[in-house]
Amino acid sequence: MVDDTDRTGLAVIGAGYWGPNLVRNAQATPGLRLEYLCDLDVGRARSVLGGYSTVRATGSLDEVLADPAVGAVAVATPAATHLKVALTALEAGKHVLVEKPLAANLAEGRRLVEAAEDRGLVLMLDHTYCYTPAVKHLRELVRDGGIGDVQYLDSVRINLGLVQRDVDVLWDLAPHDLSVFAAILPDDLVPVEVAAHGSDPIGAGRACVAHLTVRLSNGAMAHIHVNWLSPTKIRTMVVGGSAKTVVWDDLNPTQRLSVYDRGVVTTQREQTIVSYRLGDMVAPALVEQEALRGVMAEFAASIAEGRRPLTDGRSGLRVLAILEAATESLAAGGRFVAVPAEVKEYA
């Protein structure tokens, strides 16, 4: 049993869509002690807390940050407010967990990362999918060479979703896939340039359907299809390697991952000879657990151990760098746009 003095006091900022999930998982994380739920609508915060009688509801961020019992905050507010809320918390000496994306743009993201690093504080991104058992296993396979050289990545994330008022579908959905790419790929395999194409068939004023192509430093291509308008929900990712190919189907609870020993084999002679490898398919046994519980456990552990979390602030900068290049490409009719060279420093 964890002694209460070993727990980090936590305040959740924002009681909207995601805040209640943070509250529930914080309460179940041994290394954390939930102190506050802060929201401008104090009534909503009290409603979310329900029976959590030891947790205080407040509408004042200043009150939260002035309390020495609070060592960390989890930010679940709109992206446009991330800079103000997270920076204020960091300047008050608090560790910060922030919902994706890290900030509204790359420049703001850099300010948050610099503020955290200057103060020796943990800045972590809630890239939830990176903490699923499937992605953890996929990371091991790819980074340990289990699939051979990475040849391509293809991801589809579509459903009849909520059309956002402040961002397009790329900024809303693609961070999930981009964060997974960053988590599973070897450190020396980085994005070089991106091309984005999108459409707005319902007149929402922003892209509701989009395709993003990312060229990697080894010449491989990564592709993401995101869509708010599909009547069917699909969440699949295919990671192709020279030795094996892995299919992740996030909506299949009985078989999240399928590892195929099948693919194309080429022989170089006077001309390239193509043949096919038709091996077995293996479905690894994975223990199901809530990904957000893993996020909270990693946040608590990184604070206690004084180390960088898996999805630290720099991982958020990598995602922002690609999204900004994608926005530029979208405005330019889909031409390839270079990802800032400094993205290599974010590994």
pLDDT at residue 340, as a whole number: 86
pTM: 0.89
Homologous superfamily of domain range 4-121: NAD(P)-binding Rossmann-like Domain (3.40.50.720)
Tokens 């991801």 -> residue = 155
How do the domains of the chain map onto residue ranges? 4-121, 130-288+320-346
pLDDT tens digits along 202-211: 999 999 999 9
Percent of the chain at pLDDT above 70? 92
pLDDT at residue 166, as a whole number: 82
Mean pLDDT for the stretch of residues 71-88: 95
Judged against a pLDDT cut of 60, whether residue 344 lies above it is answered with no
* CATH level 2 (architecture), domain 130-288+320-346: 2-Layer Sandwich (3.30)
Mean pLDDT for the stretch of residues 90-96: 98
Judged against a pLDDT cut of 90, whether residue 3 lies above it is answered with no
pLDDT grade, residue 4 (50/70/90)?
Answer: low
pLDDT grade, residue 1 (50/70/90)?
Answer: very low
pLDDT at residue 314, as a whole number: 92
pLDDT tens digits along 145-195: 999 999 999 999 999 988 888 889 999 999 999 999 999 999 999 999 999
Judged against a pLDDT cut of 70, whether residue 271 lies above it is answered with no
> What does pLDDT average to over the chain?
92
